[in-house]
Chain A
Amino acid sequence: MATTYLKDLAIRLAETPDNFDCQLIPGDVDVLQVVVDDLEEFPIYMSVSDTQVLFITYLWTEADVNPEQRTTMLEAMLDMNIPIPLSAFSRIGDRYVLFGAARRDSSLDAIVTELHTLAENALDALEAMQEFFL
Chain B
Amino acid sequence: MEILKKIMTALRGGAREVGEAVVDAQGTRILEQEIRDAKESLDDAKNNLTDVMAKESQAQRKAQLIKSQIKETEGHVNEALDKGEERLALELAEKIAGMESELAEQNEITKSFGDHVDRLKSLMQDAERQIAEYERQLSMVKTTESVHKATEAISDSFATTSSNVRSAKETLERIKAKQEHAEDRLAAAQELEREASGADLDEKMAKAGVGQTGPDANDILERIKAKRK
Contact = CB atoms under 8 A, between A and B. Distances in A.
Does A pair with B?
Answer: yes
Interface of A: 25-31, 33, 38, 41, 45, 47, 49-52, 54, 56, 58-61, 63-64, 92-95, 123, 126-127, 130, 133-134
Chain A interface helix/strand/loop/mixed:
mixed
Contact of A94 (B15, B142, B152, B157): B15
Interface of B: 15-16, 18, 135, 139, 142-143, 146-154, 156-157, 165-169, 171-172, 174-175, 178
A45 to B, nearest CB: 6
Contacts of A49: 139, 142-143, 146
Contacts of A64: 167-169
Given A27-B149, A27-B152, A45-B150, A54 B143 contact: yes
B175 A92 contact: no
12 contacts: A29-B150, A30-B153, A33-B154, A45-B150, A51-B135, A52-B139, A54-B146, A58-B165, A92-B15, A93-B148, A126-B175, A133-B169
B171 to A, nearest CB: 5
Contact of B147 (A38, A47, A51, A133): A47
Contact of A63 (B146, B167, B171, B174): B167
Contacts of A38: 178
Contacts of A41: 166, 171, 174-175
A133 B151 CA distance: 23
A50 B18 CA distance: 21
Contacts of B166: 41
Query: Closest 4 CB pairs between A and B?
Result: A27-B153, A93-B15, A60-B168, A64-B168
Contact of B168 (A28, A33, A59): A59
B227 to A, nearest CB: 71
B154 A25 contact: yes
Contact of B154 (A31, A51, A60, A134): A31
